[in-house]
Chain A
Amino acid sequence: MAGTQTGILPDELQLATAKHVKYIQSLDTRKDEYDYWLTEHLRLNGLYWGLTALYLLRHPDALPRAETIDFVLSCQHENGGFGAAPGHDAHMLYTVSAVQLLALVDAFDDLENRGKGKGKAQVAKFIADLQDRETGTFAGDEWGEEDTRFLYGALNALSLLGMTHLVDVDKAVEHIAACANFDGGYGVSPGAESHSGQIFTCVAALTIAGRKDLIDVDKLAGWLSERQLPNGGLNGRPEKDEDVCYSWWVLSSLDMIGRTHWINREKLIGFILRCQDTQDGGLSDRPGNMVDVWHTLFGLTGLSLLGYPGLDAIDPVYCLPRSTTERVLGKST
């Protein structure tokens, strides 16, 4: 397995670290572009995607830590939940990003001292209140819509906060088991088609709950590894096109069940590197397309799981640097 062939890769197939760092740094300076304002509902996620990418690229200080903390806290509501930006409504998705960001920059103390209400406990309560106690799953906010994405987010954030005891983990596990399909995969809710993104959320939630024994490992690994297409990229479902973000959803799932060696590593590395914009930095869904910070992160996390040189290790369960989860959880996951 040795031998990333980095030594003999042509220039455009090297990781353009400096360009990517610059690209991420530039994202918050584009206030004179209409798109900057149209994407405000993703600001907190965007900061999480960008900063995590910077940590992987070993430039954790490329965005100022104090401003990061101030911005995160400015998105919080009295009920403990976070919105995408100041004045945006609280939702599970942004609350999870907030907790991940605070974990990343080691700022739980700031949350405790300067956060709304009871600090960490307030955030945990917001999340715990979104559990459907009957089915075990979670809603995204007060307006309903349940999805295994929210269940995973809840377990992710609560375990980082050390407060999973506030929810019924066994019920949540039961719900995930009900989402399993004959092909070994998982869907967004019971009955829904298997989807790589949803598989990641379910496998990671089971990992956090300590219940990987429920996974049909060989069947799931077979399905996941069959996502790889001849060009090296991975798709999210059978008979669909490849996309860089599945380098994360598929590969992290394979990693959690110990089967990353079931796909072709060199080919996937080549595909991800070809998605780089070597001129202006960033990665896109497919070679030659427009870059964005989401695909930039998930291309880099994919490379990190593949052991690509020059990148810090990512935790496949939390999508945070391993150094972060080891510090916060006191153990490796």
Chain B
Amino acid sequence: MDNHGIARVARTLRTDEQRRQDVEKINKYRQLDESIRAQASSGAYDPALFQLTSRLLRLNPEYYTIWNVRRRCLISGLLSKPSAGSWPSKASPSSSLSDTTKPSCDESSSSSSAAIPPDPSFPTTGKSGTTAELTGSDHQQPPSESDVASDINMLQSELAFTMPMLLEHPKCYWIWKYRNWILEQAILRLPAQAARKIWEAELALDSMMLTKDTRNFHAWGYRRRLVARLESPALLGKSMVEDEFDYTTMKIEGNLSNFSAWHSRSRLLLRLLDERGLDDKARAAFLDEELEYIQEGLNVGPDDQSLWYYHRYLVLQIVGRATGQSSIAPALAVEERVAYLTKEIQFINELLEDYGDIKWICKALLEYTLALQELSQGSDSDGQQDDPRTWLAKLRKLDPMQAGRWDDVERKLASHSTQAEQ
């Protein structure tokens, strides 16, 4: 019902044989669906029902209700009862637990990497999970070591089960949501170190998903959640802002057009600076470096929107707003800001000499020239400046599709200059 990128083929009449096969498939699917519903409504969320959900979800991972049935099976006995919260800190965290959990972790993570088949259409993976699907229904409380071991097994096998589906359907909301829920169960049920291992493995998986599709919106959002949790006390975490900042650099070097990475960089930057505890001079030096970095990019890809958006972000930092919001270099004096912006405008003017017909260059010049005018009003460094109308006239030629926008800008400029004359 939601087709993306699938070529249109004529709805040809099916042969009798095809029709017969379809009917057979439908009947099998509906029977499976019916048995799940019947058993779920009887309230018996047992291992047998759990296995039925495995079968159906492999056929249709979008069927959200079945994921919910599966969750109910897990919390109705396949997983231990969650601990009351103080458990991770009370249990002597060192040797005994990590000794018992480590082997099963390694074992499961090797089975989960085995679950990443070279051919993502491989339909029967998750088998490794089925042995564990039947275990763990018996437990006492408070959580014993065997509870922990069996929970780890169960949670790992759930992650392995959904792995091939995620590879095949990387934009399916319900799979991401289910994995996130499984990870939260790890926090609820496992000692913090054991839970942390699972979350760390998931971050590695997320990186792999972002290698396959560098813009996957789900994977970027998921990454932010993973990192926030990995930084939290619940997982004995500490700040990962340096690592994540480096990650954006790596993704950008892989592909300059990756706006998701540029965006992420813009969200990490200020925290990074605060945590580094840099003084004003060092912050200004950081701004210089970022400007240099984006300029290098623009020299290579002057028609790349992603780069221009990030440049615009940095210019916003330069212009600053008197709202008390933090910025990269909040201590810059107005004259310094004017100097920074003038330098950027100069750089773009040089780009223009080589690439006279790129609309993004003129857009930046229009916007920054106006920003400079505004900024200079409060300073004495009001030297010779370009007339924004020059850029507007060029934009009308280079970007006629946005004629309505340029009309509005022109009207605004006119009303400003009338006000100025009065």
Residues of chain A having any CB pair with chain B under 8 Å: 32-35, 37-42, 46, 83-84, 87-89, 91, 141, 143-145, 181-183, 187-189, 191-195, 221-222, 225-226, 228, 230, 237-240, 243, 259, 261-264, 267, 277, 279-280, 284-286, 288-295
Q: Which of B1, B6, B313 has the most CB of A within 10 A?
A: B1
CB-defined A-B contacts under 8 Å, sample of 26 = A37-B26, A37-B29, A46-B1, A84-B64, A87-B65, A89-B64, A91-B64, A143-B177, A187-B221, A191-B267, A193-B259, A194-B263, A228-B401, A238-B259, A239-B215, A262-B405, A263-B401, A284-B8, A285-B4, A285-B5, A288-B7, A290-B8, A291-B3, A291-B8, A292-B3, A293-B1
Residues of chain B having any CB pair with chain A under 8 Å: 1-11, 19, 22-23, 25-26, 29-30, 33, 37, 59-60, 62-65, 68, 71, 173, 177, 180-181, 184, 215, 217, 220-221, 224, 257, 259-260, 263-264, 266-267, 304-306, 309, 312-313, 316, 400-405, 407-408
CA distance A84 to B71 in the complex (A): 19
CA distance A35 to B404 in the complex (A): 44
CA distance A277 to B221 in the complex (A): 35
CB–CB A33/B22 < 8 A: yes
Please name all residues of chain B whose beta carbon is closer than 8 Å to the beta carbon of A284 when the two chains form the complex: 3, 8
Q: In chain B, what residue has the closest Cβ to A227?
A: B305
CB–CB A42/B1 < 8 A: yes
Q: Which residue of A193, A237, A288 contacts B264 across the interface (Cβ within 8 Å)?
A: A193
Please name all residues of chain B whose beta carbon is closer than 8 Å to the beta carbon of A33 when the two chains form the complex: 22
Min CB distance A172 to B, Å, is 19
Min CB distance B262 to A, Å, is 9
CA distance A87 to B309 in the complex (A): 47
CB–CB A195/B9 < 8 A: no
Interface of B is mostly: helix
- With contacts A42-B1, A240-B215, A292-B1 taken as known, whether A222 is within 8 angstroms of B6 at the C-beta atoms is no
Please name all residues of chain A whose beta carbon is closer than 8 Å to the beta carbon of B6 when the two chains form the complex: 289-290
Q: In chain B, what residue has the closest Cβ to A295?
A: B3
Please name all residues of chain B whose beta carbon is closer than 8 Å to the beta carbon of A39 when the two chains form the complex: 1-2, 62
- With contacts A32-B19, A182-B313, A267-B401 taken as known, whether A145 is within 8 angstroms of B263 at the C-beta atoms is no
CB–CB A239/B304 < 8 A: yes
CB–CB A181/B3 < 8 A: no
CB–CB B65/A83 < 8 A: yes
Min CB distance B292 to A, Å, is 20
Min CB distance B329 to A, Å, is 16
CA distance A143 to B71 in the complex (A): 9
CB–CB B404/A183 < 8 A: no
Please name all residues of chain A whose beta carbon is closer than 8 Å to the beta carbon of B316 when the two chains form the complex: 182
Q: In chain B, what residue has the closest Cβ to A193?
A: B263
Min CB distance A251 to B, Å, is 13
Instruction: A238-B259, A285-B5 are known; give 16 further A-B pairs, CB within 8 A.
Output: A34-B22, A38-B60, A42-B62, A88-B65, A144-B177, A144-B181, A145-B180, A182-B266, A188-B221, A193-B264, A240-B215, A259-B405, A262-B404, A285-B3, A285-B4, A292-B2
Q: Which of B26, B64, B304 has the most CB of A within 10 A?
A: B64
- With contacts A262-B402, A290-B8 taken as known, whether A226 is within 8 angstroms of B220 at the C-beta atoms is no
